[in-house]
């Protein structure tokens, strides 16, 4: 079976499956009772084609708009605006309407922009300031929202409960049974009158309704869970200036007129115009499919919602929001495209198809055998030409039994159990600070064999403090105000001035006053630590920034490992500042500031002293940075690149970032679970090794390597080296990508990778599971990831792994349980029909059994929470069989036992229970039905553990399981004792109850004995 599934249903991968693979498995699933339900949680491929068409039209439209606008610019002089804003717009205090604004940005319309007076004039017409932003006083915000709309996209609403009821009724087999019930009612009432003749038909109708309502309730609850997760996924905050103060707000609260601050890795939250910024590169591929990034500046100021900041930073004026943007229209279509189906869903669709085909065959043969038995009897009696209503009803009952065999045999619940388990796990994981973006990631994480983790913020706390500094050759601890001020007094004034200029100008952070009028440091933890040090030195951020003019900025990125800025200083000229990885920036220096404050050449002794300082800081697990500057004279062009050498070293600083509590234990759990953990960081190798040893990642046998060395290795060397690598320092995003690719393809490992920066996107995309950081991660990284770790904590990654394993095992348990019921129900009805001429289980009884194994079984077994034992077994890996030999052993053993019990009852039941009299056949069939149901109840308990004998451990903690078992037993008692006329049962005595429960219970010691049989 596994080879058939891999061959026909194995093309669908956990990530990046081809459209052909997604189409192919759908065509193979032709035994489907209810397509609406079966394919509800699969991708809507037609909507995806639609989204692609929108992207193509956007690409053409924007390209054309740019060409038209550029041509129009030649004829623009002397044109005046004939635009008149609508009355409601002017009444609200604005001078331009939403449609006019939308046409300017979306159409890249330079002409209209010029006619309206440019950026300043547009800001004025929007009643905003390009320095202080909008006013939030009184009802100003509400007026804006009324005129310009809100920044939300049209989303598909969750269908109501009755829609799910209607979809559940579309089950083909249930519809056929409903027709059977109707005919049965009609014939029964004609033959025997009301109410006696209606019992059989009403019994089937009641069973159908029960199945429909239980199914609809389960599906409705699942859809609500997915809706909650979807809402959580879309939560994005942005930095804006309102009332002259910087603040964070939700992307949904943005209005036209807002000033938004964007940095590398951010998503542009609305359409708008560029105000100011540096080296801004925008990736528009999400909107247009065009991979070439676009330079945005004062000459090309148009920013489109949904695009990503690939490089640089800027301040933008929001002009258009929500469904008025092209991104809004595209998102509305994309949201209907849905998530890709998971490999397990597809495989279980394959299992359902195989068993469905068998079920159809058995159902047809059963019906033929039963009808042939009736014909044979009538031939013997010589009455084959005369047919009574009872005999017509008998044939109808045979047909109903055959259809119900199909109901039981086609395990429609198998693929849906995956969705149920994933929905349950995703909801719980959200409480554990992990937000799953793609369903398949939950499943894949359970098979993970390797984790490549970042250091900063994941293994460490990301609360950085500058604790040591080497300035003018002096090294001192500077973690408190007293230490800093005493250190400051020992350093020459010139060195302090140049250091403060470097800290406050060459930064990606800012010091602002927040809403409470308190000083707040914005930026990455590293930037915040440096800015805090600048404040401790007595610096003034605003004064330093106003003292010079920034001419050029090269933002930090993980490939260069440094950032730089060029300042124009009155009376001095141009000065470049550089900051970044100590050894890289130091290699670009040929001078340093000595203890007298003089700039002197770097000799060998000084270089060795500085390198030794870097090594000492790093061996204390400190993150080291080097700050340097260079005089550029009186001429510099903003188009020129920053110098690569000739700098003067100002200082080397050591920043402390402590290891997170619990990381060492989590790494040990991973190792015991057979998952290897590797640290991949951009930091100094000594810092990385010190932290890796503290976390328990780096062992005596392991290798720590630097990115530049790793890059030089040949394919053969990499094949031998990669299994031993435990730490990679000074790595570039490409190094991480190569490592992941080799682990996946060369060593066939299932790899989980963490990332937070824009440049991590390729590795996150390449990995089996991409894990983005929720706090430090950029929007680009989050969008490329499968799971977002909301607290940036490595321990949460281990929790995700545990949940992944739990899902995999839970679905295996459910499959084992359902296949056992399938096999027994099929064989029992088929063999009875062939050998005795009648089926012991009626249509109503089979429908009840179907609900126990399908919806209720999935609820009970697929929602089992994870336990610590899961992390003590080896991972499944890439090549593990889903239906394992252990499962086949349990399925075959249990099926044999249940078949023997039912066959024994059919042949020896009357003697065993001392049954005689006219109702003995009905009582025997009731006993067979009751014993069969209790076999399933106890087998459900057995299925909680596939290999362990103790199946009761933690059973009371799983409230859903206890509730399902309790409800099943109570309802079984009601069916037998009180609903006999509808369910074809007879009330049993206490002795008969105990007997049938004991026969079911015997399955437990049988299961325990089976678990002692060793399998490979």
Is 439 in contact with 339 (CB distance < 8 Å)? yes
Q: How far apart are CA 414 and CA 220, in angstroms?
A: 17
Alpha carbon distances (Å) from 386 to 192, 382, 383, 391, 392: 19, 9, 6, 10, 11
Among 1013, 750, 751, 753, smallest CA distance to 880 is for 750
Q: How far apart are CA 783 and CA 770, in angstroms?
A: 10
Catalytic residue among 454, 683, 756, 792: 454
Beta bridge mates, 622: 656
Q: How far apart are CA 565 and CA 551, in angstroms?
A: 8
Backbone angles phi, psi at 242, to 5 degrees: -130, 140
3-state secondary structure of 632: strand
Cis check: omega of the bond before 195, within 30 degrees of 0 = yes
Q: How far apart are CA 448 and CA 675, in angstroms?
A: 7
Beta bridge mates, 727: 679, 704
3-state secondary structure of 897: helix
Tokens of 738: 């190569």
Is 283 in contact with 311 (CB distance < 8 Å)? no
Residue 270: Cβ-neighbour burial (10 angstroms; 0-12, 13-18, 19+): buried
Contacts of 655 (CB under 8 A, 6+ apart): 464, 465, 466, 467, 526, 529, 530, 622, 623, 624, 625
Is 405 in contact with 363 (CB distance < 8 Å)? yes
Among 288, 318, 342, smallest CA distance to 61 is for 288
Report the helix count and the strand count for the chain, using DSSP H and E. Answer: 40, 26
User: Can you list the alpha helix ranges (DSSP code H) found in 471-630?
Assistant: 481-490, 493-505, 525-536, 541-546, 582-587, 604-619
Among 277, 261, 272, smallest CA distance to 324 is for 272
Q: How far apart are CA 923 and CA 253, in angstroms?
A: 68
11 is catalytic: no
Q: What does the chain come to in residues? A: 1016
Q: How far apart are CA 449 and CA 458, in angstroms?
A: 19
Among 680, 740, 733, 670, smallest CA distance to 704 is for 680
Among 980, 971, 972, smallest CA distance to 997 is for 972
What's the farthest any 2 CA atoms get from each other in the chain? 125
Is 725 in contact with 452 (CB distance < 8 Å)? no
3-state secondary structure of 580: strand
Tokens of 336: 């209907």
Beta bridge mates, 574: 568, 633
Tokens of 812: 């295996």
Q: Where in the sequence numbering do the catalytic residues fall?
A: 454
């Amino acid at each position: 079976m596994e080879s058939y599934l891999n061959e026909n249903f194995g093309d669908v991968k956990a990530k990046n499956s081809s459209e052909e693979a997604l189409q192919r498995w759908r065509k193979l699933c032709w035994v489907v009772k209810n397509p609406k339900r079966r394919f509800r949680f699969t991708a809507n491929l037609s909507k995806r084609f639609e989204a692609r068409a929108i992207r193509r039209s956007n690409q053409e439209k924007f390209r054309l708009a740019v060409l038209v606008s550029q041509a129009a610019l030649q004829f623009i002089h002397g044109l005046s605006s004939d635009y008149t804003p609508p009355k409601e717009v002017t009444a609200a205090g604005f001078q331009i309407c939403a449609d006019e604004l939308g046409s300017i940005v979306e159409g890249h319309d330079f002409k209209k922009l010029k006619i309206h007076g440019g950026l300043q004039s547009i800001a004025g017409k929007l009643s905003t300031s390009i320095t202080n932003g909008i006013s939030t006083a009184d009802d100003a915000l509400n007026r804006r929202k009324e005129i310009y709309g809100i920044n939300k996209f049209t989303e598909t609403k969750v269908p109501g409960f009755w829609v799910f009821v209607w979809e559940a009724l579309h089950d083909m087999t249930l519809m056929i049974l409903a027709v059977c019930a109707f005919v049965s009612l009609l014939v029964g009432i004609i033959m025997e009158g009301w109410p006696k003749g209606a019992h059989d038909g009403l019994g089937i109708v009641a069973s159908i309704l029960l199945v429909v309502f239980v199914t609809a309730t389960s599906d409705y609850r699942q859809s609500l869970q997915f809706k909650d997760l979807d809402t959580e996924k879309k939560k994005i905050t942005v930095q804006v200036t309102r009332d002259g103060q910087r603040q964070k707000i939700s992307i949904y609260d943005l209005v036209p007129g807002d000033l938004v601050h964007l940095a590398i890795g951010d998503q542009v939250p609305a359409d708008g115009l560029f105000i100011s910024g540096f080296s801004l590169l925008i990736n528009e591929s999400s909107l247009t499919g065009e991979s070439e990034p676009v330079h945005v500046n004062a000459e090309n100021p148009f920013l489109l919602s949904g695009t990503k900041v690939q490089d640089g930073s800027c301040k933008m004026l929001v002009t258009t929001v929500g469904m008025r943007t092209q991104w809004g229209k595209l998102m509305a279509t994309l949201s209907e495209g849905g998530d890709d189906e998971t490999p397990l869903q597809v495989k279980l669709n394959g299992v359902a198809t195989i068993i469905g085909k068998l079920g159809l065959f058995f159902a047809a043969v059963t019906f033929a055998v039963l009808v042939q038995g009736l014909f044979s009897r009538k031939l013997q009696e010589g009455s084959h030409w005369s047919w009574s209503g009872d005999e017509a009803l008998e044939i109808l009952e045979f047909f109903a039994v055959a259809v119900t065999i199909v109901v039981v045999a086609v395990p429609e619940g198998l693929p849906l159990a995956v969705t149920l388990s994933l929905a349950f796990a995703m909801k719980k994981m959200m409480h554990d600070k992990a937000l799953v973006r793609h369903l398949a990631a939950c499943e894949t994480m359970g098979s993970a064999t390797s984790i490549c983790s970042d250091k900063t913020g994941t293994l460490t706390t990301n609360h950085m403090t500058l604790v040591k500094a080497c300035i003018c050759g002096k090294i001192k601890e500077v973690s408190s105000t007293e230490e800093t001020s005493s250190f400051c007094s020992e350093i020459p004034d010139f060195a302090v001035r140049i250091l403060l200029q470097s800290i406050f100008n060459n930064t990606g952070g800012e010091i602002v006053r927040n809403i409470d009028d308190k000083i707040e440091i914005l930026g990455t933890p590293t930037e915040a630590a440096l800015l805090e040090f600048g404040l401790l030195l007595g610096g003034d951020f605003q004064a330093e920034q106003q003292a010079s003019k920034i001419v050029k900025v090269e933002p930090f990125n993980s490939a260069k490992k440094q950032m730089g800025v060029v300042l124009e200083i009155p009376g001095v000229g141009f000065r470049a500042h550089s900051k970044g990885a100590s050894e890289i920036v130091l290699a670009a220096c040929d001078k340093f500031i000595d203890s007298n404050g003089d700039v002197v050449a770097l000799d060998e002794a000084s270089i060795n002293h500085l390198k030794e300082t870097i090594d000492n800081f790093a061996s204390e697990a400190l993150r080291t940075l080097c700050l340097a500057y260079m005089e550029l004279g009186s001429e510099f062009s903003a188009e020129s690149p920053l110098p690569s050498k000739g700098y003067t070293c100002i200082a080397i600083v050591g920043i402390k970032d402590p290891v997170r509590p619990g990381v060492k234990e989590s790494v040990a759990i991973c190792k015991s679970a057979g998952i290897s953990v590797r640290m991949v960081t951009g930091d100094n190798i000594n810092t990385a090794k010190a932290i890796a040893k503290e976390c328990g990642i780096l062992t005596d046998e392991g290798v720590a390597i630097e990115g530049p060395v790793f890059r030089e290795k040949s394919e053969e060397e990499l094949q031998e080296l990669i299994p031993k690598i435990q730490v990679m320092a000074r790595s570039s995003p490409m190094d991480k990508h190569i490592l992941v690719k080799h682990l996946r393809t060369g060593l066939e490992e299932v790899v989980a990778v963490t990332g937070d920066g824009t440049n991590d996107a390729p590795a996150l995309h390449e990995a089996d599971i991409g894990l983005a950081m929720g706090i430090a991660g950029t929007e680009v990284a989050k969008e490329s990831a499968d799971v977002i770790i909301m607290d940036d904590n490595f321990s949460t990654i281990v929790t995700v792994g545990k949940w992944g394993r739990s899902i995999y095992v839970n679905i295996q348990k459910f499959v084992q349980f359902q296949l056992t019921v399938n096999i027994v129900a099929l064989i029992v009805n088929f063999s009875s029909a062939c050998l005795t001429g009648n089926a012991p289980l009626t249509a109503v009884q089979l429908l009840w059994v179907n609900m126990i194994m399908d919806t209720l079984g999935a609820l009970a077994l697929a929602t089992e929470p994870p336990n610590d034992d899961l992390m003590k077994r080896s991972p499944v890996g890439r090549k593990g069989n889903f239906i394992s030999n252990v499962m086949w052993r349990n399925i075959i053993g249990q099926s044999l036992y249940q078949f023997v019990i039912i066959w024994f009852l059919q042949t020896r039941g009357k003697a065993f229970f001392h049954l005689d009299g006219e109702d003995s056949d009905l009582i025997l069939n009731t006993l067979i039905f009751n014993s069969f149901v209790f076999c399933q109840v106890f087998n459900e308990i057995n299925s909680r553990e596939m290999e362990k004998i103790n199946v009761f451990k933690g059973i009371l903690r799983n409230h859903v399981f206890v509730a399902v078992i309790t409800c099943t037993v109570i309802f079984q008692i009601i069916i037998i004792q009180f609903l006999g006329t509808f369910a074809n049962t007879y009330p049993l005595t206490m002795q008969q109850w105990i007997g049938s429960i004991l026969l079911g219970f015997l399955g437990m010691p049988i299961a325990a004995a089976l678990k002692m049989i060793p399998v490979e």
